[in-house]
Structure 1
């Protein structure tokens, strides 16, 4: 029997209180082009110590501040509320750029953007104005959606009870990506009828405990650990009835999956670039090839070509999914939402495959020395294997096949 390893590197009380205070308002990005430019600038900086952060499980405190202060966390906020309202194709590009440099940072913002859409879909106008202004000022949403140990991912035990003007929440969450570093933690809890609500809890709310006990071998610095909720009171104005997003055709589920696929595509980008750099500088030609350089090996050349082609194909389908999501947001219907969901499922399959393939090929093409611990190149495989486990792609294949073969529409939930 394998011994259990206990990991607890930090909790909310160990983070400096001033970490959650914005020294200055975040920049407000005005266009898609500006968003992509900002992402490239940040990725260059984030990549410098990405390997060290992974190796030491060092929380990216400085990087998260730079990330949200850049304005990128607010780029999907509608123009009517002061945001750039960028296309989802642009959002995917931003996620890929950041994730190629540090996929943990790419994942930390993943649920933030997904929840912005829930606010747009299900919150009141007053709630939208309040929270969108907070995001544009640089504040971040975390995530306390999933639980562990239940029959399925959709079986939630965390309870919300409504009182006069407020609600009380009790329960326990896991996989709470980014919660430790967020200003607001959206907690999904069910009422006495089993309907899910999201309660946005301010960081340091009484009864709220966030523990960084994420021990996964990949995505090490996402703070995807435990959230404990002991009679946490929350004002009713901070509660959003997210169940409504799945009572009608909306792109909410597709958006959640779409951003995950973009993270995987970014992991693939980073792994391929790392492979090219290593082969150019360090790899040796095989003894029987008669060649002077590993870069002249026709099998290596072909493998790089294969990786690039499959990455381009995956990203192309991801772009198609982003465009379909935009259409579904503009004109929600069974048809437009199904198209967005199906294309996102296809993209999720392809980005998963290329992320895993690229991470494996890195070592195959680079040689035995590339496995040395001090290089930490295995972080690409560890990150790819860990993040691609979000929602099994074998069921994406089933969703797509069932639609085309049996005319069965995709299911309405965040995991399709």
Structure 2
């Protein structure tokens, strides 16, 4: 397919989705370092991304989409993240919202919102809040109103909201029950503030969203809390996408390290070679990175297979197994993305630190993104599962 086409195609297969993602990634990679250095928001790149049809690949076949496997979905995100990790992260909550819709939406809600996605609409997010007692508490209020509801509150870490046509928003009603409201971006009283200042993932638009008595139609509100009160794949779906982003960052850092050492790096004075790529200690370090990166990519594939099985038959056992498989991939992807971004400089040398190369973005992006939730608790969940037969909690952070 042509990436310059204005019409949004509906992709039909896993193979087509992966092929389109690789073609797009080659385009997105060209100015990724420049966008990071100058914080150029990727509006044009996201339009191109949307027109590929990739944002609709998780729409079930019954509603006109490709319904790709979770392995394919994760690999698509990893491919895009390797080209530009901010562009890999922006659709993460889009796909998360689509999974909540699949699990908890009514047939009418699914039909309408899936159609919007297949037509090229992007969903952002307004989930997290600052100043609460923990990362999962929500205070943004959903109040009953004529023909619908009114939303009042403030969100942060709203990745993708700056670029979205709808902003799925977690809200709490008068009874303390959480819902997910699919709020149109142009709603009166809704303000998206570009105040994200993280030193990594600089163009994700992960800033603030303010709701000042914003109206939302009743048909745009779906249950949210209940997705974590029974076995569903909402949590592990969110987590496999995070793992995919980190895996893509690791792949990009590794490939840039290979290229730099082959073309620019000088061997250390004590090496018995005039070619940096023949330095035996450099070879050992690249071998170590390569093995761990291959293991991460294999775990990502495996996690997708577990998640597919859990989606087809969501029980306490299948969802727990999927959550643990995803946690294993997420733990290793966290470590390899940070290691690859740091080891790059050890192997490439002082030249690699020059700003003109932009190689520092890999470690910065990995460091910021991997703080989404702590890897130490993933090892705890995995150990508790295998040693004590304890299933992980039903939420989005394991």
TM superposition score normalised by structure 1: 0.93
Partners of 2:105 and 2:287 lie apart in 1 by: 47
| Residue 257 of structure 2 is aligned to residue 275 of structure 1 | yes
Partners of 1:148 and 1:320 lie apart in 2 by: 35
Alignment of 1:16-27 (within 5 A): 24-27=6-9
Displacement of 1:27 in angstroms is 1.0
Aligned equivalent of 1:304, options 286, 297, 308: 286
| Residue 204 of structure 2 is aligned to residue 217 of structure 1 | no
Partner residue of 1:258? 240
Displacement of 1:203 in angstroms is 1.2
Q: Is the 8 A contact 2:151 2:211 kept in 1?
A: yes
Instruction: Give the secondary structure class of the aligned counterpart of 1:138.
Output: coil
Partner residue of 2:106? 124
Partner residue of 1:231? 213
Partners of 1:228 and 1:238 lie apart in 2 by: 18
Alignment of 1:130-149 (within 5 A): 130-149=112-131
Partner residue of 1:181? 163
Aligned equivalent of 2:332, options 343, 350, 355: 350
Partner residue of 1:195? 177
| Residue 125 of structure 2 is aligned to residue 170 of structure 1 | no
Partners of 1:375 and 1:24 lie apart in 2 by: 33
Q: Is the 8 A contact 2:236 2:326 kept in 1?
A: yes
Instruction: Give the secondary structure class of the aligned counterpart of 1:140.
Output: coil
Partner residue of 2:31? 49
Partner residue of 1:5? none
Displacement of 1:405 in angstroms is 2.1
Partners of 2:389 and 2:56 lie apart in 1 by: 37
What is the CA RMSD across the aligned residues, in angstroms? 1.0
| Residue 231 of structure 2 is aligned to residue 249 of structure 1 | yes
| Residue 34 of structure 2 is aligned to residue 37 of structure 1 | no
Q: How many residues align?
A: 394
Instruction: Give the secondary structure class of the aligned counterpart of 2:155.
Output: strand
Partners of 2:87 and 2:74 lie apart in 1 by: 14
| Residue 369 of structure 2 is aligned to residue 397 of structure 1 | no
Displacement of 1:163 in angstroms is 2.6
Partners of 1:24 and 1:99 lie apart in 2 by: 23
Partners of 1:59 and 1:163 lie apart in 2 by: 36
Deviating beyond 3 angstroms after TM superposition, the runs of 4 or more aligned structure 1 residues are: none
Q: Is the 8 A contact 2:272 2:279 kept in 1?
A: no
Partners of 2:138 and 2:369 lie apart in 1 by: 22
Instruction: Give the secondary structure class of the aligned counterpart of 1:323.
Output: helix
Q: After the TM superposition, which of the residue ranges 307-316 and 169-178 deviates more from structure 2?
A: 307-316
| Residue 52 of structure 2 is aligned to residue 70 of structure 1 | yes
TM superposition score normalised by structure 2: 0.98
| Residue 246 of structure 2 is aligned to residue 289 of structure 1 | no
Deviations 1:46-71 (A, max 9, x none): 00000000011111011100111101
Q: After the TM superposition, which of the residue ranges 321-330 and 156-165 deviates more from structure 2?
A: 156-165
Displacement of 1:24 in angstroms is 4.5
Q: Given the superposition, is the C-alpha separation of residues 263 and 237 from structure 1 closer, same or farther in structure 2, using an over 3 Å criterion? A: same
Partner residue of 1:18? none
Partner residue of 1:14? none
Which consecutive residues of structure 2, in runs of 5 or more, have no partner in the other structure? none
Partner residue of 2:94? 112
Q: After the TM superposition, which of the residue ranges 345-354 and 283-292 deviates more from structure 2?
A: 283-292
Aligned equivalent of 1:93, options 61, 64, 75: 75
Deviations 1:158-210 (A, max 9, x none): 11112342011000000000101000000101112221111111112101000
Which consecutive residues of structure 1, in runs of 5 or more, have no partner in the other structure? 1-22
Instruction: Give the secondary structure class of the aligned counterpart of 1:288.
Output: coil
